[in-house]
Structure 1
Amino acid sequence: QVWQYPSQLYSDQPRGVFYIQINNDAPIKSIKADVLTALWRDLYNMNVSALDTEANIAGMNLNLNDGTGLSLTVSGFTDKQPQLLERAIDNLSFNVEEQAFKQAVDRYIRELQNKGQQFPIYQSFDAYGQLIREGGFNQTDLIETAKGLTSADLSDFMNTLLGNNAIRVFAFGNYDRGDLEESVKNIQASLPEDRKVTDFKMAQFWKPETGKSIVLRRDLDVADVAVVDAHIHPQPGFAALAAGTVLQSHFRTVAFDTLRTEEQLAYAVGSFAPSLDNYAGFGLYIQTPVKSVADMQERFDSFKEEYWEDLQEMTPEEFNQIKQSTLITLNEKPKNLMEEVSPFLADLSLQRFEFDSKEQLIDAVENVNLEDAKTFYQQTMLN
């Protein structure tokens, strides 16, 4: 499946972003497949380092990421992209040398172990991400799995994934039909002749339910404690997302002024506005050396009530000022092609094929009022 979308703002530039998803859900179903995909990405990037340098000199970029399968991105000047793409795809399958594989496993394990020494707030957000979406595996289990793998495992997995997948291409920028047809032929030629086309699969989000909570507690090797406390609105849609989008800047300011500046509970403290697919949320986070987890959670809970009192005193005029500031940010012109394509790639990742989420959010923000914001806050942080 191929989507072509010309740039609306930089159509005079001979540039483009060519994004290929080689989709297979094994990495979100199997911890072994998850580790093998990460090792595959690492070894690929090592193998194409010279090609990547050559591409950079020519004003292009090459990037392979792992996730629900693999995603390959070629971007920059479009005149030489077909040649770069052909070489990039040809390198996807390679002989796995035993020594190179052991080095990749060692890099993978050390990277995970180093994460265990990161600031607690970073580790907390990693854990939060694992909770809310399918395919998040425990760090200890990942390390033990990696230790038990062989180069033959990766070779077999590469053959399996390249022979069983669904492929999507998103071409954004200065491409014509001939460019795309040539690229599609190169992709097809690189795949096994007996390739099986599978259903396109995505990692699923946890579905919010009223009255349902998920709690994760974990001991860390580093000092300080961290808390990430997120509430998700029970109804999906852009109306709730718009209310949260407008309110978050004010909520963030009050949270920082109160918890950081006045009470000096921590250096790393603030709020965030998470989203789970079509569900909007609100949250607080902190890393603190002066309070326990239980004490900090109690302070968060009391702060949520305090902010509600502040919100009650907000005037429609004050809210409209915040709203207009939000609209200015949302309507700000992208500074380059990558900023312009970002909302479309976000929609593609969530299978929103109308590619109009940004416009829908702007429309919803224009229609939101103070009472909507109060209702959103009640149904989220006070629910």
Structure 2
Amino acid sequence: EPQMAINLPKVNTLLPENFAIKQNDAFDKPQVVIEDDGIQVWQYPSQLYSDQPRGVFNIQINNAAPLESAKANVLTALWRDLYNMNISALDTEANIAGMNISLSDSTGLTLTVSGFTDKQPQLLERAINNLSFTVEQQAFKQAVDRYIRELNNKGQQFPIYQSFDAYGQLIREGGFNQDELVETAGSVSAEDLSNYMNTMLSNNAIRIFAFGNYDEAGLNESVKRIKDSLPKNREVTDFEQAQFWEPQPEQSIVLRRDLEVADVALVDAHIHPQPGFESLAAGTVLQSHFRTVAFDTLRTEEQLAYAVGAFAPSLDQYAGFGLYIQTPVKNVADMQERFDSFKQEYWEDLQGMTEEEFNQLKQSTLITLNETPKNLNEEVSPLLADLRLQRFEFDSKEQLIKAVEGVTLENAKAFYQETLLNPDAARISVQLRGTKFADEPYADLPNQTVISDLAEFQQEMKKQ
């Protein structure tokens, strides 16, 4: 009779067996516990979920090349894409065992392993060993196709999404014009990626943030596994992060693009001249009221838009205030004019605001800011944000809460005058012109610098 071959599933070696909670001395904030050969480890136990045998282990393999060259930028994205394809089986095995792996690209690569901590060192070792692989022609070609298709699809997105994407690229290093990225992706080879992977794994600085159920012995073991899997000839480089534009009074930076879709999108932000949490607090409290009034006036009453709103952006140390819209009704210049008159109308509203109304806004802002994180990922996220901004006190969230507690209606009015009503405030303007308005004018701002090449602008811009 025929013999049936039975394939049993491989044994999952990542299932946790030990759920013990690791013992640590008291930490009042995250601190560096290991400095070893260009590998720096920050540790912090969870303050809210210290009874859970879980952790978030975040590894930044830092290299500044993707900020400086379109080619490196494209190759890093292709690397991330192919890596994620390659580890799908490992990812599934990890998920079944209550863990996750993710790889993102920015200034180099960031690998995050999270979930139960018992078998994390083993998962980590496999995740890191997978970072270098043989780049196969066919797979490479498919990754390039996916990358170019994704970039081109962005052009079909709602203009409002495209405008915020452009805004994000404008304010911080590492932005490149889309056509440059598409052209670069079309010209790189599998061999380029192999060489780049080798160069980057051999030249980097590594910063790890271990949040949750870890102790020094376990962290030392993980560092050893990471070191063993890196090239023997590794050189340690300086740790570099993408720098933000430093707002200058009497400077408006303007990005203009023609779209492949019909509507116009506009983002108009004024930046407060004083860095610090006081101005951020004022903007944070006012933002919901400003948004409601903008929505009621520009959308409900005047029917100018489907998507309209207000936001209080922060650019590292600086805070701003602004409006955004996607409109099928007005061209860029006319919409900008309507924004400018709306800024004056809102000022009338703000002058009529009572202390009681302001305090309600303030209380609801504080409720949101003081909400208890629902899990480890939510708890670690403000700490990782501080780490990315090199704020090693790790207290930005507390500082903002303290500043919001102290903010008064007078402060809020002064903030508004120094941003949206200040003709000398630094400004950021994204003007996207839909096909329906292709023959109609863009908006001119006072003191404007119109940016044609993102990468060139970012090399020359003043940075914080």
1:90-141 per-position Cα deviation (integer Å, ceiling 9, x unaligned): 0001111111111110110000011111111111111111111111001111
1:150-172 per-position Cα deviation (integer Å, ceiling 9, x unaligned): 01100110111111111000001
Residue aligned with 2:82, SS: helix
Q: Show the counterpart of 1:154.
A: 193
Q: Show the counterpart of 1:118.
A: 157
1:103 aligns with 2:142: yes
What's the offset of the Cα at 1:50? 0.7
Q: Of residues 308, 312, 334 in structure 1, which corresponds to 2:373?
A: 334
Q: Of residues 156, 160, 171 in structure 2, which corresponds to 1:132?
A: 171
Provide the C-alpha distance between the structure 2 equivalents of 1:227 and 1:126, rounded to a whole number of angstroms: 12
The aligned runs of 1:321-360 (5 Å cut-off) are 321-360=360-399
Provide the C-alpha distance between the structure 2 equivalents of 1:88 and 1:154, rounded to a whole number of angstroms: 19
1:291 aligns with 2:327: no
The residue type equivalent to 1:84 in the other structure is L
Between Structure 1 and Structure 2, the one with more helix by share is: 1
Residue aligned with 1:283, SS: strand
Normalising to structure 1: TM-score of the pair? 0.99
Q: Show the counterpart of 1:261.
A: 300
The aligned runs of 1:151-230 (5 Å cut-off) are 151-230=190-269
Provide the C-alpha distance between the structure 2 equivalents of 1:109 and 1:187, rounded to a whole number of angstroms: 33
Unaligned runs of 5+ in 1: none
Q: Show the counterpart of 2:45.
A: 6
Provide the C-alpha distance between the structure 1 equivalents of 2:226 and 2:315, rounded to a whole number of angstroms: 33
The aligned runs of 1:356-371 (5 Å cut-off) are 356-371=395-410
1:49 aligns with 2:88: yes
What's the offset of the Cα at 1:356? 0.5
1:302 aligns with 2:341: yes
1:57-105 per-position Cα deviation (integer Å, ceiling 9, x unaligned): 1111100000000000001111111111110000001111111111110
Residue aligned with 2:233, SS: coil
1:294-318 per-position Cα deviation (integer Å, ceiling 9, x unaligned): 1111111111111111111111121
The aligned runs of 1:219-258 (5 Å cut-off) are 219-258=258-297
Provide the C-alpha distance between the structure 1 equivalents of 2:160 and 2:368, rounded to a whole number of angstroms: 27
Residue aligned with 1:143, SS: helix
What's the offset of the Cα at 1:350? 0.3
Residue aligned with 1:310, SS: helix
Q: Which moved more, 1:46-55 or 1:175-184?
A: 175-184
Higher relative contact order (CA 8 A, sep 6+): 2
What's the offset of the Cα at 1:233? 1.0
Identity of aligned residues (%): 82
The residue type equivalent to 2:231 in the other structure is P
Structure index of larger Rg: 2
1:378 aligns with 2:417: yes
1:16-53 per-position Cα deviation (integer Å, ceiling 9, x unaligned): 10000000000000000000000000000000011111
The aligned runs of 1:52-71 (5 Å cut-off) are 52-71=91-110
Residue aligned with 2:285, SS: helix
The residue type equivalent to 1:187 in the other structure is I
What's the offset of the Cα at 1:208? 0.4
Residue aligned with 2:254, SS: coil
1:79 aligns with 2:118: yes
What's the offset of the Cα at 1:320? 1.1
Provide the C-alpha distance between the structure 1 equivalents of 2:234 and 2:412, rounded to a whole number of angstroms: 51
The residue type equivalent to 2:211 in the other structure is F
The residue type equivalent to 2:179 in the other structure is T
Residue aligned with 1:290, SS: coil
Q: How many matched pairs?
A: 383
Normalising to structure 2: TM-score of the pair? 0.82
Provide the C-alpha distance between the structure 1 equivalents of 2:114 and 2:340, rounded to a whole number of angstroms: 46
Residue aligned with 1:215, SS: strand
What's the offset of the Cα at 1:258? 1.0
Quote the RMSD (CA, aligned, Å). 0.8
Provide the C-alpha distance between the structure 2 equivalents of 1:236 and 1:274, rounded to a whole number of angstroms: 12
Provide the C-alpha distance between the structure 2 equivalents of 1:58 and 1:283, rounded to a whole number of angstroms: 45
1:225-269 per-position Cα deviation (integer Å, ceiling 9, x unaligned): 111111111111001111111111111111111111111111111
1:27 aligns with 2:98: no
The residue type equivalent to 2:294 in the other structure is A
Provide the C-alpha distance between the structure 2 equivalents of 1:245 and 1:225, rounded to a whole number of angstroms: 27
Q: Which moved more, 1:251-260 or 1:141-150?
A: 251-260
Q: Show the counterpart of 2:317.
A: 278
What's the offset of the Cα at 1:189? 0.8
